[in-house]
């Protein structure tokens, strides 16, 4: 009977852990659609406090939750769908509404997992293995499910399956009335899976969100929507007859021009700022456009005479959106000479063997867009190392161009470009001759105010490896003025490079260029967001209060808190670090969580056979410290190389370096629980769960010191636990 109960509880643990991670990924997608990235991360972090609070609830109930664990699994399933329904159908409310609503499933699920672990001290290796394996497989499955269906349907399916598991466990023991009620609920959940409420009810949170650029525009209508694990892509018709608009997660607006194959239809693109990037190149054979959106830049390149155009975008939804409205867009990405590529721009530039007359990056990413939203994920397309790679892929006489949002981005790009040009051997006194800046500049006396307070709106930066000639500079100035654009700096004939820097305040001058180790291009504040600081301090205080009120020992509190912080810092930073070598945030997320957690489950299951309990110090803690530093060193080495392995080899190599680390990371937590009195196991789970919320700590370290520092600190936390373990007195 004990074996049967253990196996059943392992299944329940697996199902709950699987659901946890799918739900967390769902929340990242849901909140990314209606909120800015800092608030996405903050809202999810506040919601996941429920895991730790659920553990505390299990500790206080003294086994009652475990006694009715199948009912709690059913409650977990119901709270999943109810929470999502409430957040979906209510107008936008803000973080203090969404956090407690999103917290309910974490609270019930956390209580269930803690209660199960508390009852299985002797089988804790198996239970924790099921927990980690469920989370790891859930991470992979969440991406697959949300790509096959959509986020809402995925949660509907998950809730139905989870409720079905809860009902089936003790179905034969239930009374007839309870059977009827359970079957009725299960049937309703199944119907919602086939016909989800999202097909019939408006997404009010999205429609009323301040992040939705078409909020309140009664004329616009949605023509196409695709919502998957990476982004929500919508196509809006603003009824002007000439343009449609793609939005990514409610922002990042990119126009689609009406086009039937005759370039004369889009001749108006010649008057745009971005068209200046395509003019006056020595040769117009091949152009690379990164962040093509709705395809206007492709049409601009064709207007300028480019014969071969490689159109790169990380979001496949953009390409599908343009193709879906092909009768309007002319299916621009499938025109002769145009090659559409779904890829991160930085990764593509590493892989391609082509050289270009023009590399153009156009408003690549909305300021609040954050990919998965789990860790303030940034891409690597504006770093110093990236610009060096772009310059190296230019033909003689070729140019690199950026269209940016405002002056703060301009300063970061100029700083990064300066360092890249100096790396190429260009003297500091000659840098201004390799750069030109065009934009709308308020201080020059023009009656055009900057967007959102910006003094330079949508600046265009043109970079060349060779000095810009006097003739090219003259033509650029004439064309800019002809298009009613404002020359900010044009070498030799309108040299305002020194004035450009003096124009900005001291604080803005501190906007340094980004490196691959710290690629937070859209973090325009100096320092760390105050919300993350408050979250971290608040979580630590809650943990200490719980420990004091429950008379939980200081040593054990330090041990499980250290494990929680160390694990989440390493895990979160690895997701960010591996985006560059793997080429996509989704792939990085899947591999890091999938490999680390599943291999951690294997480590949990077999750790007792490999390492003795009797030693004063637990060796896996030291191994985690060493392996983390090695993994970080390997990633840094690869990122510094100019070559790029095929995706298959990159995935295999990533798995090989993560598996040993994951194996050891799965061992210290069950080791600590085996040393803990049975009555305190749920409390240990609660403290560990609470401290994983301090994933914001990883972000704070990365924002201020870089990824290498974050990985090093995570590693040293494990090393410190190894050194201090005898003094922590875990057995008392």
How far apart CA 52 and CA 56 sit, in angstroms, is 6
What pLDDT score was predicted for residue 440?
59
Using left for φ > 0, alpha for ψ between -120 and 50, and beta otherwise, residue 291 falls in: left
List the end-to-end C-alpha distance of the chain, in Å, as a whole number. Answer: 31
Residue 77 has pLDDT above 90, yes or no: yes
pLDDT tens profile 472-511: 999 999 998 888 888 889 999 988 888 777 665 544 545 5
C-beta neighbour count of 217 within 10 angstroms: 12
What pLDDT score was predicted for residue 696?
63
And the tokens for 331? 């299916």
And the tokens for 32? 């990314």
What pLDDT score was predicted for residue 373?
38
Using left for φ > 0, alpha for ψ between -120 and 50, and beta otherwise, residue 216 falls in: left
Helix-, strand-, coil-residue percentages of the chain, each rounded to 5: 60, 10, 25
CB-neighbour burial class of residue 651 (10 A; exposed 0-12, middle 13-18, buried 19+): middle
Across the range 336-357, mean pLDDT stands at 92
Residue 647 has pLDDT above 70, yes or no: yes
pLDDT tens profile 448-459: 444 455 567 788
Rounded to the nearest integer, the mean pLDDT of the chain is 85
Q: What is the percentage of the chain residues whose pLDDT exceeds 70?
A: 89
C-beta neighbour count of 614 within 10 angstroms: 5
Nearest alpha-carbon partner for 135 in 561, 604, 535: 604
How far apart CA 538 and CA 530 sit, in angstroms, is 12
Across the range 322-349, mean pLDDT stands at 92
- Average the pLDDT over each of 124-138, 639-653, 715-729 and give the range with the smallest value: 639-653
How far apart CA 562 and CA 669 sit, in angstroms, is 10
Give exposure, 138-152, as e/b (b: 16+ Cβ within 10 Å).
bbbbbbebbeebbbb
Pair type for strands 456-464 and 435-441: antiparallel
Residue 242 has pLDDT above 70, yes or no: yes
Cβ proximity of 291 and 364 under 8 Å: yes
CB-neighbour burial class of residue 261 (10 A; exposed 0-12, middle 13-18, buried 19+): exposed
Highest mean pLDDT among 187-191, 493-497, 513-517: 187-191
How far apart CA 27 and CA 99 sit, in angstroms, is 10
Nearest alpha-carbon partner for 318 in 349, 295, 344: 295
The contacts of residue 678 (CB under 8 Å, 6+ apart) are 118, 121
C-beta neighbour count of 655 within 10 angstroms: 14
- Average the pLDDT over each of 170-179, 280-289, 415-424, 504-513 and give the range with the smallest value: 504-513
Residue 177 has pLDDT above 70, yes or no: yes
Cβ proximity of 112 and 73 under 8 Å: yes
The contacts of residue 498 (CB under 8 Å, 6+ apart) are 432
How far apart CA 335 and CA 314 sit, in angstroms, is 20
Q: Angle CA(518)–CA(520)–CA(526) in degrees, nearest 5?
A: 95
Q: Give the single-character DSSP code of 453.
A: G
Cβ proximity of 619 and 611 under 8 Å: yes
Bridge partners of residue 312, in order along the sequence:
290, 341
CB-neighbour burial class of residue 209 (10 A; exposed 0-12, middle 13-18, buried 19+): buried
What pLDDT score was predicted for residue 229?
83
Nearest alpha-carbon partner for 344 in 180, 501, 516: 516
Across the range 354-370, mean pLDDT stands at 73
Higher per-residue pLDDT: 471 or 704:
471
What pLDDT score was predicted for residue 322?
93
How far apart CA 428 and CA 432 sit, in angstroms, is 8
pLDDT tens profile 520-550: 877 666 566 677 777 778 888 888 888 888 8
How many residues are there in the chain? 732
How far apart CA 669 and CA 601 sit, in angstroms, is 11
Q: What is the pTM (predicted TM-score) of this model?
A: 0.89
Bridge partners of residue 237, in order along the sequence:
221, 244
* DSSP string computed for 334-357: GSTTEEEEES-HHHHHHH----EE
The helix/strand/coil state of 82 is helix
And the tokens for 128? 């924790």
Q: Please give the C-alpha separations between residue 365 and each of 290, 390, 521, 536, in angstroms, as whole numbers.
A: 10, 18, 10, 28
What pLDDT score was predicted for residue 117?
92
Tokens 């016909």 correspond to what residue?
195
What pLDDT score was predicted for residue 511?
56
Tokens 């967007």 correspond to what residue?
451
pLDDT tens profile 573-611: 998 899 888 888 888 888 999 999 999 999 998 865 666
Question: If pLDDT is split at 50, 70 and 90, which confidence band does 618 have?
Answer: confident
Q: Give the single-character DSSP code of 490.
A: B
């Amino acid at each position: 009977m004990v074996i049967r109960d253990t196996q059943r509880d392992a299944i329940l643990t697996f199902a709950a852990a699987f659901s946890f991670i799918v739900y967390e990924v769902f929340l990242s997608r849901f909140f990314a659609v209606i909120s800015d990235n800092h608030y996405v991360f903050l809202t999810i972090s506040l919601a996941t406090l429920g895991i730790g609070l659920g553990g505390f609830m299990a500790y206080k109930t003294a086994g009652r939750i475990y006694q009715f664990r199948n009912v709690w699994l059913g409650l977990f399933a119901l709270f999943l769908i109810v929470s999502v329904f409430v957040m979906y159908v209510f107008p936008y409310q803000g973080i203090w509404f969404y956090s407690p609503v999103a917290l309910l499933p974490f609270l019930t699920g956390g209580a269930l997992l803690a209660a199960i672990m508390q009852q299985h001290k002797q089988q804790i290796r198996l239970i924790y293995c099921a927990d980690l394996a469920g989370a790891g497989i859930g991470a992979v499955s969440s991406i697959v499910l949300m790509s096959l269906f959509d986020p809402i349907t995925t949660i509907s399916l998950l809730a139905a399956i989870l409720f079905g598991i809860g009902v089936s466990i003790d179905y034969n023991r239930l009374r007839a009335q309870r059977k009827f009620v359970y079957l009725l609920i299960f049937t309703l959940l199944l119907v919602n899976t086939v016909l989800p409420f999202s097909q019939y009810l408006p997404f009010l949170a999205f429609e009323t969100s301040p992040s939705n650029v078409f909020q309140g525009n009664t004329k616009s209508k949605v023509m196409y929507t695709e919502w998957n694990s990476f982004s929500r892509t919508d196509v809006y018709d603003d009824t002007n007859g000439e343009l449609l608009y793609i939005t990514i997660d409610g922002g990042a607006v990119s126009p689609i021009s009406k086009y039937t194959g005759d370039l004369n239809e889009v001749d108006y693109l010649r008057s745009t700022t971005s068209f200046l990037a395509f003019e006056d190149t020595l040769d117009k054979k091949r152009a690379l456009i990164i962040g093509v959106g709705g395809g206007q830049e492709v049409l601009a390149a064709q207007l300028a005479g480019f014969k071969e155009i490689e159109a790169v975008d990380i979001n496949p939804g953009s390409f599908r959106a343009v193709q879906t409205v092909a009768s309007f867009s002319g299916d621009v990405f499938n025109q002769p000479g145009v090659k559409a590529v779904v890829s991160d721009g930085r990764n593509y530039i590493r892989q391609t063997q082509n050289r270009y007359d023009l590399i153009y990056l156009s408003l690549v990413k909305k300021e609040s867009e954050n990919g998965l939203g789990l860790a303030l994920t940034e891409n690597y397309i504006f770093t110093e190392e990236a610009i060096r790679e772009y310059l190296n892929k230019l033909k003689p006489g070729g140019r690199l161009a950026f269209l940016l949002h405002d002056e703060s981005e301009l300063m970061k790009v100029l700083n990064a470009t300066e360092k890249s040009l100096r790396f190429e051997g260009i003297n500091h006194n000659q840098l201004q001759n390799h750069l030109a800046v065009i934009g709308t500049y308020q201080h020059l006396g023009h009656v055009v105010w900057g967007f959102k307070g910006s003094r330079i709106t949508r600046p265009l930066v043109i970079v060349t490896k060779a000095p810009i000639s006097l003739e090219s500079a003259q033509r650029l100035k004439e064309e800019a003025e002809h298009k009613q654009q404002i020359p900010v700096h044009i070498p030799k004939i309108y040299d305002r490079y020194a004035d450009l820097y003096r124009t900005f305040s001291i604080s803005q001058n501190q906007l340094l260029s980004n490196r691959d180790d710290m690629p937070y291009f859209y973090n325009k504040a100096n320092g760390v967001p105050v919300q993350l600081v408050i979250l971290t301090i608040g979580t630590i205080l809650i943990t200490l209060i719980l420990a004091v009120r429950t008379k939980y020992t200081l040593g054990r509190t330090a041990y499980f808190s250290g494990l929680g912080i160390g694990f989440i810092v390493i895990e979160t930073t690895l997701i960010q670090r591996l985006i560059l070598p793997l080429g996509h945030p989704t792939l990085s997320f899947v591999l890091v969580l999938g490999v680390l957690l599943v291999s951690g489950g294997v480590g949990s299951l077999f750790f007792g056979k490999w390492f003795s309990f009797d030693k004063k110090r637990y060796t896996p803690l030291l191994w985690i410290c060493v392996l983390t530093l090695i993994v970080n060193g390997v990633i840094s080495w690869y990122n510094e190389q100019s070559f790029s392995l095929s995706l298959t080899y990159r995935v295999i190599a990533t798995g090989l370096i993560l598996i040993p680390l994951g194996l050891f990371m799965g061992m210290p937590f069950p080791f600590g629980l085996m040393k803990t009195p049975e009555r305190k196991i749920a409390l240990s789970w609660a403290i560990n769960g609470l401290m994983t919320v301090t994933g914001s700590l990883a972000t704070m370290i990365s924002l201020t010191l870089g990824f290498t520092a974050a990985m090093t600190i995570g590693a040293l936390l494990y090393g410190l636990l190894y050194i201090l373990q005898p003094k922590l007195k875990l057995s008392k």
